[in-house]
Amino acid sequence: MTRPIAKPANVKARTRRRQVSPSLLRAALVLALAASCAFAVPVVLGALRPAQSADGAGLPPVQVALSGLAAGACMSLSPSGSNAGKTVFIDPGHGGMDPGVVGTVGGRQVLEKEVTLGVGTRLAELLRADGYRVVLSRMADSSVTKLSATDSVAGAMTASAVHRDLVTRTLCANSVDASVLVSLHFDAFDDPAVGGTETFYDAARKFAAENKRLAVDLQ
C-alpha cells in the first residue's frame, strides 16, 4: 500500500491521485515525491556502469543496457564529486506524449512533464556533486519505454503503453542497483487553496521503515 505523508498545514492528507480535468487546474502545483527504496535485484549490469571518479563530471551520460528503452531513457551519470559509492534513481514523471498535468500559471501553459524534468535534472546535478551516481529515467521529453505505432491513439498513449512505461522505469531502477528511487510529480487539485508537498511511500515492503524515513526527510 502506498501511504501519503503531507504537511498538515498545507495539504489535506489524501491517498488518491488527481482526478480533475486540466481546465480546472489553476491550483498550485503540488510536488509529490513518490519515494521508495528500490532494493535491488542483484546487479545485472554492474559491468556496464561508467567509470566513477572524482572528475566524472566530464563523462557523458551512458544509457543502461536494458531492452525496450527509448532514446535518452535510463541514463547513468557518474558522480562529479568524491564518490559516495551509491546510486540514486531519479524519475522525472511523464514525458513525450504524456504531458501529465496541463496547468496555467500567469497565463502561461505549464506542463507537468517539463517541470519534473527540470527539477529532476537539477537534483541530479546536486546529488552528483555530493558523490552519488545518478540514473535518470529520462533526460529528454520522451517516454522511457520505446513506443511503437500501436502504443498511441489520436496522439495519446494507450493505457497499456502507460503501464509498460511505468514498469520500464522500475526495471531501470532495479537494474542499476539503486539505493533510492525518487519519482517526481507535480500534481494539481481543483481547489486553489490546496498546496504543499506530499510524499508517497510503500508501507508494505520489508524496508518500509527506511521508506518512511526518506519520505519524511523529503518533506
| Contacts with Zn ion, residue ranges (CB under 5 A) | 93, 100, 185
Q: Which is nearer to Zn ion, 132 or 186 (CB)?
A: 186
| Residue 14 zone, left/alpha/beta (φ > 0; ψ -120 to 50; rest) | beta
Residue of minimal Cβ distance to Zn ion: 185
Half-sphere exposure of 204 (CA within 13 A, CB side): 2
Residue whose cell numbers read 525518487: 182
Q: Which is nearer to Zn ion, 151 or 187 (CB)?
A: 187
Q: Please say whether the beta carbons of 99 and 76 come within 8 A.
A: no
Distance CA 144, CA 142 (A): 6
How many Cβ atoms from other residues are within 10 Å of residue 207's Cβ? 15
State the amino acid at position 28 in one-letter form.
Answer: A
Q: How far is the CB of 130 from Zn ion (least distance, A)?
A: 26
Q: Please say whether the beta carbons of 70 and 147 come within 8 A.
A: yes
Q: How far is the CB of 168 from Zn ion (least distance, A)?
A: 16
Q: Which residues sit opposite 78 in a β-bridge?
A: none
Distance CA 100, CA 82 (A): 36
Q: How far is the CB of 56 from Zn ion (least distance, A)?
A: 30
Q: How far is the CB of 170 from Zn ion (least distance, A)?
A: 16
Q: How far is the CB of 166 from Zn ion (least distance, A)?
A: 11
Q: Which is nearer to Zn ion, 56 or 92 (CB)?
A: 92
Q: How far is the CB of 133 from Zn ion (least distance, A)?
A: 25
Q: Which is nearer to Zn ion, 95 or 100 (CB)?
A: 100
Distance CA 64, CA 74 (A): 6
Distance CA 45, CA 128 (A): 20
Q: Which is nearer to Zn ion, 175 or 183 (CB)?
A: 183
Distance CA 77, CA 207 (A): 26
Q: Which is nearer to Zn ion, 93 or 96 (CB)?
A: 93
